[in-house]
């Protein structure tokens, strides 16, 4: 069987696996990218969320043969230096407890902020509704998503100084 080529975080990887293998296993066990977590394995908890062409997707329920030629982004590729507004907000609001669910939460938040730069409480609840946090970090999580939205918002530009003597 020819290897399957995956585009992960902007790099091509040829992997020699069964085409039906879930993307999650390939990320973690073949490519050693362990930032994406295994929670339930049946698309119920959100821990394994990655982006496929920018769309939040559960890697545990996605076969590698279905993602060839698509752009896969994992938590390792969300930013080069942990400077994505969601990552900064997570630190500012001290969101994680055990941390297990958090990379999935971050990937969903990043997608939400792209779709809705100013998410409402209802948007946030809807986005994270399929994510399970056993540590109950939801209140901090909601706050951090608002903080991330504020950090990502374009800053108002200062008015240009009016030249002396210019008409007002």
CB 89 within 8 A of CB 23: no
Least separation in angstroms between residue 168's CB and ligand FES is 55
Least separation in angstroms between residue 7's CB and ligand FES is 21
Q: Give dist(CA 140, CA 142) in Å, integer.
A: 5
Residue of 147, 139, 83 lying closest to 119 (CA atoms): 147
Least separation in angstroms between residue 167's CB and ligand FES is 59
By CB under 6 A, the residues from 41 to 80 that bind ligand FES are 41, 43-48, 58, 60
The DSSP call for residue 161 is P
DSSP letter for each residue of 27-54:
IIIIS--TTS--S-SSSSS-TTEEEETT
Give yes or no for residue 7 binding ligand FES (CB under 6 A): no
Q: Of 66-74, 119-127, 132-140, 158-166, which part binds ligand FES (CB under 6 A)?
A: 132-140
Least separation in angstroms between residue 131's CB and ligand FES is 8
Q: Which residues bind ligand FES (CB under 6 A)?
A: 38-41, 43-48, 58, 60, 96-102, 133-135, 137
């Amino acid at each position: 069987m020819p290897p399957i080529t995956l585009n992960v975080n902007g790099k091509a990887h040829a992997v020699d696996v069964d085409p039906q293998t879930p993307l999650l296993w390939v990320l973690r066990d073949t490519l050693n990218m362990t930032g994406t977590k295994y929670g339930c394995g049946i698309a119920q908890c959100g821990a394994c969320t990655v982006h496929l062409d920018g769309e939040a997707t559960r890697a545990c329920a996605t076969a590698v043969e279905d993602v060839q030629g698509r752009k896969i982004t994992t938590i390792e590729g969300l930013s080069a230096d942990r400077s994505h507004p969601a990552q900064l907000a997570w630190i500012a609001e001290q969101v994680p407890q055990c941390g297990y669910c958090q990379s999935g939460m971050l990937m969903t938040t990043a997608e939400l902020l792209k779709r809705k730069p100013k998410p409402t409480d209802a948007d946030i609840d809807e986005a994270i509704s399929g994510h399970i946090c056993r540590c109950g970090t939801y209140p901090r999580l909601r706050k951090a998503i608002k903080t991330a939205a504020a950090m990502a918002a374009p800053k108002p530009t200062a008015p240009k100084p009016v030249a002396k003597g210019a008409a007002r």
